[in-house]
Structure formats: C-alpha cells, structure tokens
Amino acid sequence: MIIRPSWLHFRESSRVWIEDRLRLKPLIDLLAKKLVPRHKYSFWYLFGGLALFFFIVQIVTGILLLLYYSPTPNTANESVRVIVNQVSFGWLVRSLHSWSANLMIATVILHLFSTYFMKAYRKPRELMWVSGVFLLFLVLGFGFTGYLLPWDTTAYFATQIGTEIPRSIPVLGEFIVRLLRGGEFIDEESLKRLFALHVVILPLITLAVVLFHLILNQVHGTSIPIGIRSLREPIPFFPNYLFRDAIAWIAALILLFGLCLIFPVQIGPKADPFASAPVGIKPEWYFLTLYQTLRIVPAAILGVNSETIVNVCVGIAGAFLLMTPMIDRKARMEQYSSGFTWIGVVAIFYVIIAISLAYLT
C-alpha cells in the first residue's frame, strides 16, 4: 500500500470537491483545445495579454485609491496629497495606477498596430477588430477622465481645453460640451461627472467589451498572418501558452514597480480656476498627436476654423479604423494588401513626428 502524505490527499480531495461543484473540466478542455500558432511574429501576440494585465492592475489600484479620494474641487487635491504623504503605501498605489495607465495605453496601441500589420482583422475576426478599436477609445477615455481628478493646475486647464475642442464638432458639439462639463465651465459639476465616468461608467463598459473580445478570441483562435506557413508546431493555449503569458506578466510587473520606484508620480499645485493659466499646458503623451495637429493646421481655412477641420479629420480617421476589416477587400480574400500596410507605416511616422515636435517646440 502506498502511504500518501496527508496534504497530497487533502489537495486531491479538494480538487474533486471543487470539480464536482463547478464542473470546470469542459472550460479547461476548451482552453487546452485552442492552439496558438508559432512563427516569426508570434512575439506580438503577447501584447493583448499584457493590455489585459495592466487593466487588472488599474482595477485593483483604482479601488484602493477610491478609499481615500474625494471628488470635490475643495478636497480633491488635498485627498491625493493625503494618499501620497500619509496613507501607508499610498505613494506606491498612486504611482502604480498612473504608470500602469500609461503602460496600458501604450500596449493597447502596440497591440492595435501589430494586429493591423498582421491583418488579423480579416474574416472571421472583423468583430474582434471592431471591439478592439472600441477598447482603444475606452482606454483613451480613461486617460482623459482620470487626468482631472487630482485637480491640479495643469490638469485643470488641459481639461478646460480638451472639453472645449468638441464644441466645433458640427451639429452635436455644443451638446457634447455641456454633457461633459455639466455646465459652462470646468467646476464641481464637471469633476463629479468625469469622476463618475472614470470609476463607474467606463469600467463597466470596458469590462463588457473586454469579455466580448476575449470570448471571440476563444471562439476563433489566433490568426496566422497571410503567407506565413507555421514552421513550428502550434502549442495549446492551456497550459503552454498561458505559461508564456505569465512570464510576460511577471516582466511587466517588474517594469511597473521599477518605474514607480525610480519615478514616483508627482502632484502639482491645487488648481485655481480664477487665476491665469500657467505657461506650458500640454496634454498627456497619448493626446500629443492631436495637440500637435491642432497647432499645425492654420487657424482658419476658407472660413472654417481649425478645430472643426481637425474634428472632422479625427472622425474620418476613427471611422477608417473601425471599418478597416470591411474596406480591406484583398485581405478578406487572403491576399496581402500592401496598401494597408503602407497606411499603417505612414500613421506610425506621423504619430512619432507629431509627438517629437510637440515635445521639442
């Protein structure tokens, strides 16, 4: 008779207990059945999972910040100071939330470009792409609404400008500005609104869209770029691929903590809505492309002001992004569409040049 240590026995019996009640086996079999192809671009598949990782960090640290944060113009800046200076590990929680937000947006953008260049949006994954574009808009929405919450001078005027730009959207502009601000100017009402968006409305919508995105990924499996013959054996998602994901997540965690320890996030002076705007108001890096575009376009072309022109261009670019799988007819027929690759390359160059110009001038 084999005598088994009691903890092994305990582990086995709890596994059976849980399996009898939750019936997880079909789910695990399903995950194991999904095969992840391996080829020279496989590395880029890691970024979707990394975006998910940073999103989870945002939820956890966001809930922690909520315990002390207070969303009124009189208390917001002070409550963030309390978190940073008095709450145990408060500075760390705040830095994690801020750095992870930046890394999440960066990974979502990388993920978007990599799936774009691999043309992973082609049939039958059109809705993965469309939901992905919505996720991009949602994470940018998180960045925009979260920025005002510490109520410091830069954030105050940057948000004033940011909520003024939609005013020149034809027809709907005025309506959108009032809805966002809850009034004519950025004040208590606006802070409460952006707060509600940041901590309740956007998270609920994002969770639903992420779930949709992940379920579709499970249904369709991972795509193989056009013309690539998978050289190596594909590996099952569970446990093999998940193990690679886990390594990437640990690397991301180390990077995240490193950034927080070396560059802890600072807080600026409390905003005074009745003082002149200081010099050097700039948005966060992910809005600098838009910012620089507004600076490049002349104040008025044929009587139309630059904000209207830029708004219309952004609308067209957004629609192009959403509709890419429907427009790219070649990729749909499994033919390499170099025109779309070139559009992507030009877009990357434009983004890099615009951001550099915004920093340098």
- Footprint of ligand HEM (CB under 6 A): 45, 47-49, 51-52, 55, 108, 111-112, 115, 120-121, 125, 128-129, 132-133, 135-136, 139, 210, 213-214, 217, 222-223
How many Cα atoms occupy the beta-carbon half-sphere of 61 within 13 Å? 21
Report which DSSP code applies to 152.
B
- Annotate each residue in 280-319 with x if it binds other proteins (CB under 8 A) or - if it does not, as one string: xx-------------x---xx----xxx------------
Is 181 near other proteins (CB under 8 A)? yes
Minimum distance of ligand HEM from residue 176's CB (angstroms): 23
Q: Which of 56, 204, 277, 352 binds other proteins (CB under 8 A)?
A: 277
Minimum distance of ligand HEM from residue 275's CB (angstroms): 37
- The distance from CA 258 to its chain's CA centroid, rounded to whole angstroms, is 20
Minimum distance of ligand HEM from residue 166's CB (angstroms): 22
Is 170 near other proteins (CB under 8 A)? no
Minimum distance of other proteins from residue 240's CB (angstroms): 45
Minimum distance of ligand HEM from residue 133's CB (angstroms): 4
Is 59 near other proteins (CB under 8 A)? no
In sequence order, what E strands does the chain have?
35-38, 232-236, 300-301, 304-305
Residue 143, number of CB atoms within 10 A of its CB: 19
From residue 251, alpha-carbon distances to 19, 54, 95, 246, 331 in Å are 32, 12, 18, 9, 34
- 191-222: string of b/e by CB count within 10 Å (b at 16+)? bebbbebbbeebbeebeebbebbeebbeeeeb
Question: In terms of CB distance, is 121 or 340 closer to ligand HEM?
Answer: 121
| Cα torsion through 60, 64, 67, 72, rounded to 10 | -80
Parallel/antiparallel/unpaired status of strands 304-305 and 300-301: antiparallel
Q: Which does 133 bind (CB under 5 to 8 A by kind): ligand HEM, other proteins, none?
A: ligand HEM
φ/ψ region of 261 (left if φ > 0, alpha if ψ in -120 to 50, else beta) reads alpha
Q: Which does 182 bind (CB under 5 to 8 A by kind): other proteins, ligand HEM, none?
A: other proteins
Minimum distance of other proteins from residue 183's CB (angstroms): 5
Minimum distance of ligand HEM from residue 232's CB (angstroms): 16
Take residue 2 and report the two structure tokens written for it. Answer: 């084999």
> Considering Cα of 263, then 265, then 269, then 271, what sign does the dihedral take?
positive
Sole window of 72-80, 108-116, 128-136, 172-180 interacting with other proteins (rule: CB under 8 A): 172-180
CA 66 – CA 90 distance, rounded (Å):
11
Applying CB under 8 A, the residues found at the interface with other proteins are 157, 160-161, 164-165, 175, 178-179, 181-185, 187, 189, 273-281, 295, 299-300, 305-307
